[in-house]
Structure 1
């Protein structure tokens, strides 16, 4: 009975470790790469959902980019534009905000702010539209959701525009941590329980004998 209980606990722990390994983002498969661009040959796109919830996305759009929209698309982001303006005005990124209609202009107090920066510089609110901005190689493009704020108070992304070749976004860190489940510890505990039970059983048999 004790051995069965130990094995059951071990199975539950293993199941918990596997269930935590699912990816956190819904980016377009086969487009872009997760994390910062490793060098100046590409544009790093940062999406900070702010109070919409969810991890900040950091994606690389490899190679030259024609404008801000293509950078987002080549980074693998799922986009929705505004009515007749299409992707000239961004309504949703990765399906957020989920409850917002894209048939008309988003309200000023619940919209995406568009930011640009050079590597190692500071975020600046873009002075041109996303389709009119041609991102320089190695630069950063940022999107940050502004809720219940005036235009002058729109928050920039909370990730500094500094290229980090070995850094990964929080979503991928969570996935990596969940995949590093301590299998050796669980197996060691199960083996220990088996040895203890076997030792007790042998001892009881010798007494009876």
Structure 2
């Protein structure tokens, strides 16, 4: 190694040591734990996929969890197949929806399905043995006022057990939910194959 390379290596090491010291100092103050309210929203793809990724992570840690699907209940999805076939003791799966709103074309039916889904969700969240609950596409039900946003926010604020994580997915998350949440991620649409005439495909979309 040349003298110049040694000087550069020393500078790099000193810079990284400074960053590590600052990081360690910051991390020393982060000692709290709590059950989080997590929102995945936005027009981009990946909201449900990210939620199911968190469910699989919880399963890997031996944490009992549950899924309530509010919209895509009629779909035969890869996530549902995997969770029901492989992890039935660690993850409950409840498909409560009857398809997208443009498929049912029946508001009263959609409201009833959403209400059943929310009642199931509340029971699962209240269960102290369950550590994470994914409410997949609940934001769609809230967007169309199939559920009362104030009632949902009040329940999550006042009744959710302290250490239970709740993940809520779907575009157009209500401002009240975003305000309550501990973690909010917005998926941004940059490019999507649907616009080029490519339909939803197994393993990618469902």
TM-score (norm 1): 0.23
Structure with higher strand content: 1
Structure with higher helix content: 2
**Higher Rg:** 1
Bigger RCO of structures 1 and 2 (CA < 8 A, at least 6 apart):
2
TM-score (norm 2): 0.23
